[in-house]
Structure 1
Amino acid sequence: MPTPVKAYKTYDEQVDLLASRGMDIGDRDAAIQELQHINYYRLSGYWYAFRRQGTSGREDTFYAGTTFQDVVRLYTFDASLRTATFASLAPIELALRALIGHALGTLHECAHLEPKVLGPRASQGGSYATWIKRYKKSLADSKEDFVKHHQAKYAGTLPVWAAVEVLDWGALTYLYGFSPRHIQNDIADKFGLTAPQLESWMKSLNVVRNICAHHGRLFNKVHAIKPKLPAVGHLPEVDKARQEMNRTFGQLTLIQHMLRTLDVGRRQLLPAVLRTYPDVKLLPISHVGAPPQWAGSALWK
């Protein structure tokens, strides 16, 4: 017996369904045109919070005042936020590569290939063996000129300060975790963090980066990984978002702090985009996790 699936609906039928559930469609032709450019189910993530809250969860019907235009405005805002977030993460990722590669280079030119030179985590369990396979695949797949140079002159063996350039963020986080604790501490100290805290930030922001890279949703997002934070008072500006660390604004606060401490990137980019949050009465900016008076923080001015 074939597996049941939802019935196909034309654009007209999709619009009719939304209207029947209480959404104000406005210009019908314009709504159909938007649905031709943005998948119905992608947009559904933006009208989810407009759905009435029932005793057993969200209902199919919408709150009064829900408009198709507001849904599209939130989608457009989120696209801009996603682009700005990805751009803001880039200089942080590049700086972490440089810091980790340089620090490990002081131990051994190929510290990444010498688990005995790294910290105890590299010699425990199978995580390092899994990581080295992943590294070798990235190396084999790379088309970078510096990789070709090392293949021709050094039999493909990259020193650690070059090897970090073929790692993705996740693999870089693992390499940081494999590093000796004093190396981890020296790098974490640049952010006012402990080594476990920085590692947790890197893991959190890797998820955010992947959301951006795969056109995911940051608006109204609850993030599964909550970063470890220093004691209250150690980083006062980060403290202001302490209760929102599982929301997008909390994750963006980590980015703003790292940009400031590293003195890299465009720190005005994310604040500028957040200020474009559309005036949607039913869904204020708190649906990104931003607390009241968020713009008054030194990180966001």
Structure 2
Amino acid sequence: MDSVVKEYKSYDEQVDLLSERGMDVGDCESARATLQRVNYYRLSGYWYPFRKQSKAGREDDFYPGTRLSDVLALYDFDARLRTAAFSALTPIELAIRALLGHELGRLDPCAHLDPGKLGPNARSGGAYSTWLERYEFKLRQSREDFVAHHDGKYGGILPVWAAVELLDWGGLTRLFGFAPRGVQNTVADACGLSAPQLTSWLKALNIVRNICAHHGRLFNRVHTLSPKPPRVGRHPDLDAVASDWSRTFGQLTMIQFLLIRLKVGRPTFLPVVLDSFPSVQAVPLTHMGAPKDWQSRSALWKQR
């Protein structure tokens, strides 16, 4: 059976199609230039909420009043949000690296190379072996000066406080999972969380980081991994948010919480970006999972 491939459409035909479906595209030349710089199917994720809803699902036609300029405003906001979220995650990642490397080094400078010195997760299944293979590959590929220094002076064996600098967020999360519970507790306590909670937060935020790094749509995404929140009463500023943790606002609240607890980064950055959410009647900020009074509900978001 022959496969069916969707028919190719030129930029002008794409503009015409949007117009036929009820979107106000504004100036046609400007709309064409937009589709030249932003793929039609990338933008389709932002005009999805503007498509008419029926019992069968979303239709191709748009609700009356749908404008391409509103779609672009959401697209541009999402780009700012990804940049801000990625920027905010960087100092958190660096702080976790430093904490974990320091605490594992307290046990043994090469604790990361000996599963016997790590926790039970490093000695069950093949996850640790897979992690070690990936770490050794990164070590061989690295051109960092500190790697060359240790290679010349210590035969290439990096102590764990240096080794963590080669790990990406996923590798760091897995090493945290391999660490003995005492080490996990110390690192998690610095974050105001328990070890299982920090594990779930690191996994969830790794997905957010990857979305940002690969230019995915972030603002109204429903996330597949929800974090384990602390018990009610431990952190009133977190309780006050009362967000759906699977929505982007909930994930951003996690970032705000960690920035403030770890005393790193710029906790003012994300609130300013959220405050720039465009005024689009069909797609309010609540599509992110944010309450209407998000700015005043919790001290986490009163950063100015």
Query: Is the aligned partner of 1:253 residue 2:218?
Result: no
Would the aligned equivalents of 1:46 and 1:219 in 2 still touch at CA under 8 Å?
no
Structure 1 residue 243: Cα displacement: 3.5
Amino acid paired to 2:295:
A
Structure 1 residue 239: Cα displacement: 2.2
- 1:106 alignment partner, SS class: helix
Distance in 1, matches of 2:241 and 2:207, equals 19
Structure 1 residue 2: Cα displacement: 4.2
Amino acid paired to 2:146:
F
Identity among equivalent pairs (%): 61
Would the aligned equivalents of 2:243 and 2:249 in 1 still touch at CA under 8 Å?
no
1:299 aligned residue = 300
- Is 51-60 or 236-245 further displaced after alignment? 236-245
Structure 1 residue 260: Cα displacement: 0.3
Amino acid paired to 1:86:
F
1:67 aligned residue = 67
Superposition map of 1:39-50 within 5 A: 39-50=39-50
Cα deviation per residue 1:13-41 (whole Å; 9 max; x = unaligned)?
A: 10111111111111111111111110101
- 1:192 alignment partner, SS class: coil
Distance in 2, matches of 1:239 and 1:51, equals 35
2:217 aligned residue = 217
Would the aligned equivalents of 1:65 and 1:282 in 2 still touch at CA under 8 Å?
no
Superposition map of 1:151-162 within 5 A: 151-162=151-162
Gaps of 5+ in 1: none
Query: Is the aligned partner of 1:10 residue 2:10?
Result: yes
Structure 1 residue 56: Cα displacement: 2.1
Distance in 1, matches of 2:61 and 2:217, equals 22
Distance in 2, matches of 1:165 and 1:187, equals 16
1:227 aligned residue = 227
Would the aligned equivalents of 2:205 and 2:251 in 1 still touch at CA under 8 Å?
yes
1:240 aligned residue = 240
2:150 aligned residue = 150
- Is 116-125 or 226-235 further displaced after alignment? 226-235
Runs of 4+ aligned residues of structure 1 deviating over 6 Å after TM superposition are none
Distance in 2, matches of 1:240 and 1:53, equals 33
Distance in 2, matches of 1:241 and 1:3, equals 49
Structure 1 residue 242: Cα displacement: 4.0
Superposition map of 1:68-217 within 5 A: 68-217=68-217
Cα deviation per residue 1:182-215 (whole Å; 9 max; x = unaligned)?
A: 1101111122211000000000000000000011
Gaps of 5+ in 2: none
1:274 aligned residue = 274
Cα deviation per residue 1:107-135 (whole Å; 9 max; x = unaligned)?
A: 00100001000011101111111110111
Scaled by the length of structure 2, the TM-score of the pair is: 0.97
Structure 1 residue 147: Cα displacement: 0.9
- 2:299 alignment partner, SS class: coil
Amino acid paired to 2:81:
L
Amino acid paired to 2:301:
W
Structure 1 residue 54: Cα displacement: 1.3
RMSD of aligned Cα (Å)? 1.0
Scaled by the length of structure 1, the TM-score of the pair is: 0.98
- 1:299 alignment partner, SS class: helix
